[in-house]
Structure 1
Amino acid sequence: MVTPVQDELAVTRDAFRALMGSHPSGVAVITTADAQGTPYGFTCTALCSVSLDPPQLLVCAGNNGSTLPVLAARGAFTVNLLHSSGRRAAEAFAGPAAERFSTIGWQPAPATGLPALTQDAHATAECRVTRLTPAGDHTIVIGEVLHTQTHTRATEEAPLLYGMRRYATWPT
């Protein structure tokens, strides 16, 4: 017997946040830049692979943030996968927009010239936007991966994780 799905919302925002917060994930900073070269970015744990052929991944960007409109207009972004010493970058990009690039070092990525956080990331992926799909208070951004790079610290530092409202690192 199939149980019918109720039309009313049965889960509160707080309950859903608690559920998803109990699921640890890797931490990334998504970066882009506007036409004048001004960098934008945000901390992201909603990231996953989509396809191997062509290589695609997705990130979820908040509709009310300053980065999504710039990312959509630019049509490209960089995924910076943070290592265990990248917690300062994760916190900076989760905070006020004005402080994000003033305290964290970056350099232009080789394929797109978009910001790469090479001191805080163990790897980066430069992507071209292939699809934007509205999904509630976020937008799913699918990007074709144009270039990947592993950084020196990748062999020295474990990936940064976040879950249960705290940061952790991959066990050695």
Structure 2
Amino acid sequence: MAHDTAVTRDAFRALMGAHPSGVTVVTTSDDRGAPHGFTCTALCSVSLDPPQLLLCASTSGSTLPVIAARGAFAVNFLHGPGRRAAEAFAGPAAQRFTSVPWLPSPGTGLPVLPDDAHAVAECRVTRLTAAGDHTVVIAEVLRTHLAAPADSEPPLLYGMRRYATWPS
């Protein structure tokens, strides 16, 4: 296998796009209660004790400053029919919460997407680390909400520039 010494932005995007990921929408709200969010596939678990996860957020996006100021966010793990939320939250910020139903969670008041997610994690930021054009956000998971197995749709996946669902 040949290898190039310089990796372009497009080559790196193609490489990472070849590895499918689960699709989430990360949501938070500002000090006036206005909701903010973005579609995120760069998310993984970090620790069981304490329960922690990490995600990567674009430093040029409008949601990261709100997450940093609030110190909290929710991760909405999307199911297959939640593709509409994935697409909406990857588009213009002004249209995200007008095209997808949301509610404040009973625990933290963070915006959650009950019609589009099969699971939700409510999180408290513990560390922000700059990493190129993104920021790595490490957070403690404070609450989880899981759909009942009978009510759960298969998870939404994204890879190779297309959406798919986990086989049943």
User: For 2:60 and 2:28, how far apart are their aligned partners in 1?
Assistant: 16
Are positions 1:80 and 2:42 aligned together? no
Q: Equivalences for 1:137-152 in 2 at 5 Å?
A: 137-152=133-148
User: Match for 1:33: what amino acid?
Assistant: S
Contact 1:21/1:165, CA 8 A, preserved across alignment? yes
1:93-121 deviation digits (Å, cap 9, x = unpaired) = 00000000001001111221000101100
Flag structure 1 segments of 5+ consecutive residues without an equivalent. Answer: 1-8
The one-letter code sitting in structure 1 at the alignment partner of 2:141 is V
Q: Using the alignment, how far apart are the partners of 1:71 and 1:145 within structure 2?
A: 14
CA distance 1:109–1:149, change in 2 (3 Å): same
**28, 47, 71: which one pairs with 2:67?**
71
Q: Are the counterparts in 2 of residues 107 and 115 from structure 1 also a CA contact under 8 Å?
A: yes
Instruction: Measure, in 1, the Cα distance between the counterparts of 2:104 and 2:65.
Output: 20
With the length of structure 2 as denominator, give the TM-score of the two structures.
0.95
What are the ranges of 5 or more consecutive residues in structure 2 without an aligned counterpart? none
Q: Relative to structure 1, is the Cα distance of residues 33 and 153 closer, same or farther in structure 2, using a 3 angstrom cutoff?
A: farther
Post-superposition Cα deviations, 1:14-45, rounded to whole Å, max 9, x if no partner, equal: 11000000000000000000000000000000
User: What are the within-5 Å matches in structure 2 for residues 129-140 of structure 1?
Assistant: 129-140=125-136
Aligned counterparts of 1:154 and 1:26: Cα–Cα separation in 2? 20
Write the deviation string for residues 39-75 of structure 1: whole angstroms up to 9, x where unpaired.
0000000000000010000010000000000010000
Contact 1:122 1:154 in 2 (8 A): no
Identity of aligned residues (%): 74
Counterpart contact for 1:54–1:144, Cα < 8 Å: yes
Q: How many residues align?
A: 164
Question: Which portions of structure 1, spanning 4 or more consecutive aligned residues, are displaced by more than 4 angstroms?
Answer: none
The structure that has the greater radius of gyration is 1
Counterpart mapping for 1:20-169 below 5 A: 20-152=16-148, 155-169=151-165
* Partner deviation per Cα, 1:114-160 (whole Å, 9 max, x = no partner): 00101100000000000000000000001100000012587441000
Aligned residue for 2:97, secondary structure, equals coil
